[in-house]
Amino acid sequence: MNQLLKLEITIKNLASHRFIHNVATLQVGSFLGNFIQAGIGIFLARMLQPERFGEYALAIGMASLASIVLGSGIQDAAANLLGSSYARKDAEETKNVLAFTIKITFFAALLTILILPFLPFISRALYKDFWIGIYAAVIVIASIFSVSFFSLSTMALQAVGKIRGMMMLAVSDQIARYGLALVFTAVGFGVLGAVSGHLIGAVILFFVSAAIWGWVQRKETILPSLWTLIKHAGTVSIKKYFGFSFWVAIDRNMGNLFMALPVVLTGIYVANSEVTFFKLAFGFVNLALSMLGPISVLLNMEFPKMMVEGGGKLARNFIRVSLYSMGLSVLLVLGAIITAPIVFKFFYGVNFMPSVKYVSGLFVYGALFGIGVGLGPMWRAIGQVKISIIINLIILGLGIPLGLWLIKSYGLWGAVIMVTLWFSVSHLVSFFYLLRKLKTT
């Protein structure tokens, strides 16, 4: 009886803890968003069938690489700085950080636009298909809209503690983009309709996010208006924040690179329909693992606060979060493997059943994925992101040629081995390096 009472008290304490409550809120949003994305993805796959869905998957992969400088690394770096300035109630620093975010995003968008004309020619060289590059270009334009006011509003909502609003905005983004992609595909526009849906949805959220910023800004006077930020962006110093933000952005975008490259590389040696089977298996496992995402998001602001508090709290919590997350990732990937045969047969149909065996093949990848949840936030908190970048560049430098050989030699199983090696080696090397670093500080 006493044990039950202790368990009840523990659960109540966890439920009342701000960090746990915020994680739970974001996990609900993450689940809803991913459920919407996965559900619509099923209909898209069934309408497009393996061959055309493979084109769509390759276009998404190419767009992810082309828009890598637009990735959330910029927002992660700014979120770290914004969390500190907001906690100090420093209005001037808050304005500078947000204006810097707008300025650096503008330059990143310009650089990305310069890449767009080359995408069709790259896709023709890699996949013998000019149209895949055109589809990718449409998605890149959608990404430019997505990283503007949408990302800025998300940062603001997180900084002021409106986690529920942050969650609802993220879910709305999924509904708008994927919902319209489904509508345009259903009426007969095929892959072009799917990517156009992403673009129109991103434009809608662009204006919705601007309106949300105005609502938050009226309640939080420390936040300036969007017009004030846009004007200030022209004069704010890039040098002051660029050193920190540049390395954080590269480090964060390494994760995006690791996620985008497997599908893009796989398409070089296997048919589009085969790409579909790997893409769906990889996506299904990552859908289960996405439940870990909110933990990493919140650690971006929690770890810097723990550093200020001192007393070894940072190291203890890093170990605890990493091990708990790894345990959770094992359970999540086991759940994905067990349910995969039913899910693929019932929802996708028999044409997509070859994906099931690759879900099982990704067990080691998924099981060790959880240990990486706190790595990015910790690298940023201790100011060692350059080390993380070096580790991952070495892994990619060795891993890409190895991966191409594996795919050429073993097809999709080679892609499974490649993904497992890339992520597992990266996570384990980084984890043990950080563990040693924290114990010596």
Q: Based on the domain organization, do 225 and 286 belong to the same domain?
A: no
Q: Do 210 and 281 sit in the same domain of this protein?
A: no
**pLDDT of res. 11:** 43
State percent of the chain over pLDDT 90. 43
Collect all residues with Cβ–Cβ distance below 8 Å to 170 and sequence separation of at least 6: 29, 30, 33, 154
Query: What is the residue range of 388's domain?
Result: 250-441
Is residue 419 assigned to a domain? yes
Q: What is the pLDDT averaged over residues 403-425?
A: 96
212 and 267 inside one domain: no
- Does one domain contain both 124 and 273? no
- Reading the block at residue 43, the tokens are 């209909």
Model confidence pLDDT, tens digit, residues 15-28: 445 556 666 666 66
Phi-psi map region of 2: left, alpha, beta (phi>0 left; psi -120 to 50 alpha): alpha
Q: Is the pLDDT of residue 368 over 60?
A: yes
> HEC profile for 185-232?
HHHHHHHHHHHHHHHHHHHHHHHHHHHHHHHHHHHCCCCCCHHHHHHH
Domain identity same for 360 and 310: yes
- Does the residue 268 lie in any domain? yes
Both 221 and 105 in one domain: the answer is yes
Q: Tell whether 218 and 281 lie within a shared domain.
A: no
Give the tens place of pLDDT for each residue, 113-162: 999 999 999 999 999 999 999 999 999 999 898 887 787 788 778 777 77
Q: Confirm if 139 and 63 have CB atoms less than 8 A apart.
A: yes
**Tens digits of residue pLDDT in 266-323:** 999 999 989 999 999 999 999 889 888 767 767 766 777 676 666 567 778 888 888 8
Higher confidence at residue 348 or residue 255?
348
Helix (H), strand (E), coil (C) string for 65-127 = HHCHHHCCHHHHHHHHHHHHHHHCCCHHHHHHHHHHHHHHHHHHHHHHHHHHHHHHHHHHHHH
Which stretches of 310-372 are DSSP H helices?
A: 313-343, 355-361, 363-369
Pick from 237, 264, 290: which residue ends a domain?
237
For residue 205, give the nearest of 264, 280, 149 by alpha carbon.
Answer: 149
Residues 274, 422: one domain?
yes
Q: For the chain, what is the mean pLDDT?
A: 84
Q: Residue 3 pLDDT > 60, yes or no?
A: no
Q: What is the total count of domains within the chain?
A: 2
User: Domain ends where: 168, 202, 237?
Assistant: 237
Chain segment 180-194, per-residue pLDDT in tens? 999 999 999 999 999
- Does residue 15 sit within a domain? no
